[in-house]
Structure 1
Amino acid sequence: MESTSPMRLSFEIRQMSPQQKLPSPDVGGMSRSARVMALLGLQYTRPFHRDALFLFFFALGPAVWLSMTVLFALQPSPRHALWSPVFLSVALWQPLCEELLFRGLIQGHLLESMPKQKTWLGLSISNLLTSCLFSLAHLANHSVSWSLLVFLPSLCFGFMRDRFGSVYPSILLHVFYNGGYFLLIGSATR
């Protein structure tokens, strides 16, 4: 079992030490397609499903769903809606596309283009910027309060991207968050 170093939280912006360097793909000698896959975070670097923070963020999902019921009435989806096109879009297609765009392309590019990453409360500047963009993008179809609510899960998804150098953990978390929300609230917000 691979050990992970404990996460240190600080309340000031500081330079990252070499031991805390964010995972970055080794591009030397890689083919173009391998470099693109690495930049997008489409690599499996180590098992994330046993990581304590991944499991914590997974367990946080129901709390996020319940906090969203404050804005929308609890309207559980009927059973037949489970594999409906709307459910598949909300729970699978949208999280996959959003994670590839935001955590893969945007956060991956920011990680590569900002070699001296700083952290704030254990979060990379790349993650903070990407999460701001993610929340702003939700303004196109949702209210301001909704866009603010998706900021915290976005930080969790981005943290997993930074921690593992891969988008697979963030995709899985995003699918879980969206799927559970849809099943609990229904399509009341669509």
Structure 2
Amino acid sequence: MSDLRATHAEPRVLWRDPLFLVAVAAGLLTWAVLYFIQQPAVQWNWPLVRPWQFLLPVLLYPIVEEIVFRGLIQELVRDTISRHSLGPLTIANLLTSLLFTGLHFIYHTPLWAALVFFPSLVFGFFKDRTDRLVAPIILHVFYNAGYLWLFSAPQ
């Protein structure tokens, strides 16, 4: 496992990892499907007009959340409670994702908060796969950017 972790941990190598590319493609596909289902009135240039309203949740929040949830909590659960897996997902990832999702109910609608569970599993999977936070942070930034750009434009 250490060879796999060393191989897939660096950003320049991540782009050659087929599973990482699937995770990126899943984000693009999800945005497209949600866009056509919801038909949001998108002001396409809003991140340029209000950069801090875009940059904080796109850059700062994912970094802090990944350090706390994948870097601290997931590792703590893995080291103290369980190193077991259910298929490709560790128990630590599942429990951390449940907590991560639960906290999103505080400031999201129930549907959006519940949907956070799936990307959280992806972030945790890549934390387990690489034993580093690079891939989860990159994916979290990418997922937040698409979501915010399409569905959180200021009115």
Tell me the TM-score range normalised by the shorter chain.
Answer: 0.7 to 0.9
Q: Distance in 1 between matches of 2:137 and 2:153?
A: 21
Identity %: 36
Cα 1:180–1:102 shift into 2, 3 Å: same
Normalising by structure 2, report the TM-score: 0.83
Q: Does 1:112 align with 2:79?
A: yes
Runs of at least 5 residues in structure 1 that lack an aligned partner in the other structure: 5-22, 24-43
Counterpart residue identity of residue 75, structure 2: G
Q: Which residue of 1 aligns with 2:125?
A: 159
Shift of 1:77: 3.5
When the two structures are aligned, how many residues end up with a matched partner? 148
The alpha-carbon distance between structure 1 residues 151 and 80, as it changes in their structure 2 partners (threshold 3 A), is closer
> What is aligned with 1:101?
68
- Partner of 1:41 in structure 2? none
> Take 2:31 and 2:120, find their aligned partners in 1: how far apart are those partners?
14
Query: How far is the alpha carbon of 1:73 from its aligned partner?
Result: 4.3
Q: Which residue in 1 is equivalent to 2:20?
A: 54
Q: State the Cα distance separating 1:161 from its structure 2 match.
A: 0.3
Whether the 8 Å CA contact 2:85–2:91 is kept in 1: the answer is yes
**Equivalent residue for 2:56?**
89
Amino acid at match of 1:154: S
SS at match of 2:66: helix
- If you compute each CA radius of gyration, which structure gives the higher value, 1 or 2? 1
CA distance in 1 between counterparts of 2:87 and 2:114 reads: 19
| Alignment RMSD | 2.5
Structure 2, unaligned runs of 5 or more:
none
* Counterpart mapping for 1:1-40 below 5 A: none
> When you count helix as a share of all residues, which structure comes out higher?
2
